[in-house]
Structure 1
Amino acid sequence: MEPLSPAFTIDLRRLAVLRELQRRGSVARTAAALHLTPSAVSQQLAALARDLGVPLTERDGRGVRLTGQAKVVLAHADIIAAQLERARADLAAYGEGGRGAVTVGCFSSGILGLLPTALRALRARLPDLRVDVVEAEPPDLFTALDGGQVDVAVAVDFAAAPPSTDRRYTRQDLLTDVLDVALPPGHPLTDRTEVPLRELARDPWIVGDAFSCCGAVTRAVCAAAGFTPEIRDAVDDWAALAGLVEAGQGVALVPRMVRSLYVHRDLVLLPAAGEPPSRNVFVAVRAGSEGDPVMAAVREELAVAADELTAAGASAARTT
């Protein structure tokens, strides 16, 4: 394959398809994430390869894998995307800022526990700014961030999230959200001051979907404690989970971020013994966009809200 010209141009939409293939690992999953057909994804990749004059994929059994040349292209793609975001941020900073709209993607318990405080502060600080919120988790959340459907991503570190070293994003840790043990009334461990997780190995558990952040974190925490939980009920709604614990269906781990949902429930919240299980919550924007005054304001108010939430959670835990 010969380069068409030393001064070739690159279609940024095709680069986006290649970046998504790197994240998803297969043409079928890439097509599903981008709402395209597998044939359309293959055509976009083939066209990009022709433009560049190098092979970008090679057969790997029944699928494909990226070539070494593709990885070189992707390294430049990250730099190109970041530079475009910096140009957009510079243009925004040239004007007054604080106008227009921004879309925040966030996981469900973050919407419940973290965003309300930040949104109220943003409304007071930038009254002309429209903030839209969508519920999403990795990897779909970061596909939306890459594609511009989301401007700010608030997420939890787990297997489906990008690594902290991913240079496509500028990220900032917000808080460590501790998970407490939720026990139904009458459970034999409710008189403890803290609960060794290993002692719950024979209990039925209420756990979210394995691909959700809290479902994945709960399974990982139980595995670290030396057991695989017997999952009786699988729910991703925190109010529903509280109702099931209250009804005696099982035990659960619940984040302090949504502790307010449980204060009027007939159940017992206790800290786990030893190093408390927790999850890291962070905010990310596309690399280069961090200089945008609106993006900066959103990140600042999220950080303030996270600090307030951490302090409130610690205080509530001490009085339990």
Structure 2
Amino acid sequence: MNLRRLRVLLELSRLDSMREVADELDLTTSSVSQQIAALATEVGTALVEPDGRRVRLTPAGRRLADHAVTILAAVEAARRDLDPASEPEGAVRVAGFATAIRRSLLPAIVELATTHPGVDVRMSEYEPLEALELLGRDDVDVALVYDYNLAPVALRNDLTARPLWTLQWGLAVPSPARRQPFSTYADHDWIVNSRNTADEEVLRTLASMAGFTPRVAHRIDSLEMVEDLIVAGHGIGLLPRGRATRRGVRVLPLTDPAVTMRVYAVTRRGREQWPPVRVLLDHLARDPDAPA
């Protein structure tokens, strides 16, 4: 249905005169008549009827004019919403893992409350595979995910990723401990993530390079619970370096190869241009924990 013709019909319902509509919209009276006739052909019913030397809307014409108010208002709202120069406004749904929510999303929300109060961020905690599945179903607008240099993520071609920050990971063992060859830990029980495969893939790659197959005994999401199991002697695992750990845990550096977590904000291709998503991505990229 042609929006320009709807506008002409709406003005006719308001002004009751084709000549006045023509003056209002800078058209000729003949052009107004042609627009109304074409719209009647589109909808398959008469929209005007003679009323002396003038015309008036038929009942169908009045009903369509009522719809036109809502339709044209919605189109105008959509144009304002999508205008890159307009003030961003709308709800942005974000799914992400806990560390990225704490480090990137929460500070971004605080900033947006001041800079762009019309942006309403709604967050849910999910591991990367879960978040990407939600994004693929269009249940969220942004997914905060991670991969590793030893276990790169393969994104669908309709998704696009914006790098945010990186974090070095190490080998978490009971303290006191000193650095030893990775093969030294072949007989230990291992702890991996239960809802994402990248952590276990990294472990199996490192173990394969050291000549053994790791014995995975526990699958735990919470980093704090991983530390509890290490202290209790129930296994060892991989943890991020540079964060405070509980007493009794030491995170040893891994080199040759190093293990680097890489964090991304992922959107459906093109969605990153929607103003509310665009400003959120810009704020997420300002990592508050990055070195000055």
| TM-score (normalizing by structure 2) | 0.62
Q: Deviations over 1:76-122 (max 9, x none)?
A: xxxxxxxxxxxx79842267333221111112332344433333333
Q: Are 1:297 and 2:279 counterparts?
A: yes
Secondary structure at 2:254's aligned position in 1?
A: coil
Q: Are 1:242 and 2:227 counterparts?
A: yes
For residue 199 of structure 2, what is the amino acid of its counterpart?
A: C
Change (3 A) 1:120 1:226: farther
Change (3 A) 1:91 1:146: farther
1:178 is aligned to: 168
Identity of aligned residues (%): 28
1:128 is aligned to: 118
2:238 is aligned to: 253
Change (3 A) 1:228 1:89: farther
Q: Are 1:162 and 2:177 counterparts?
A: no
Secondary structure at 1:300's aligned position in 2?
A: helix
Change (3 A) 1:91 1:123: closer
Change (3 A) 1:224 1:130: farther
2:257 is aligned to: 275
Q: Partners in 1 of 2:281 and 2:174 — Cα distance?
A: 38
Q: How far apart are residue 310 of structure 1 and its match? A: 4.7
1:37 is aligned to: none
Query: What aligned pairs does 1:1-320 form with structure 2 within 5 A after superposition?
Result: 91-93=81-83, 96-157=86-147, 161-163=153-155, 166-186=156-176, 190-192=177-179, 195-209=180-194, 211-256=196-241, 259-260=243-244, 262=245, 264-305=246-287, 308-311=288-291
Q: Partners in 1 of 2:283 and 2:83 — Cα distance?
A: 18
Change (3 A) 1:175 1:89: farther
Q: How far apart are residue 133 of structure 1 and its match? A: 1.1
Secondary structure at 2:272's aligned position in 1?
A: helix
Q: Partners in 2 of 1:277 and 1:225 — Cα distance?
A: 15
1:315 is aligned to: none
Q: How far apart are residue 161 of structure 1 and its match? A: 4.4
Q: Partners in 1 of 2:116 and 2:266 — Cα distance?
A: 20
Which structure is larger by alpha-carbon Rg, 1 or 2?
A: 2
Q: Deviations over 1:174-229 (max 9, x none)?
A: 2232211111124xxx134xx43222222222222274443343333333443221
Q: Partners in 2 of 1:112 and 1:199 — Cα distance?
A: 35
Q: Partners in 1 of 2:175 and 2:191 — Cα distance?
A: 15
Secondary structure at 1:145's aligned position in 2?
A: helix
Change (3 A) 1:182 1:134: same
Contact 2:90–2:276, Cα closer than 8 Å, also in 1: no
For residue 309 of structure 1, what is the amino acid of its counterpart?
A: D
Q: How far apart are residue 151 of structure 1 and its match? A: 0.4
Secondary structure at 1:304's aligned position in 2?
A: coil
Secondary structure at 1:309's aligned position in 2?
A: coil
Contact 1:184–1:250, Cα closer than 8 Å, also in 2: no
Contact 2:193–2:199, Cα closer than 8 Å, also in 1: yes
RMSD (Å), alpha carbons: 2.9
Structure 1, unaligned runs of 5 or more: 1-87, 313-320
Q: How far apart are residue 271 of structure 1 and its match? A: 0.9
| TM-score (normalizing by structure 1) | 0.58
Q: How far apart are residue 138 of structure 1 and its match? A: 4.5
Secondary structure at 1:109's aligned position in 2?
A: helix
Q: Partners in 2 of 1:117 and 1:226 — Cα distance?
A: 43
Q: Partners in 1 of 2:129 and 2:255 — Cα distance?
A: 32
Q: Partners in 1 of 2:196 and 2:230 — Cα distance?
A: 21
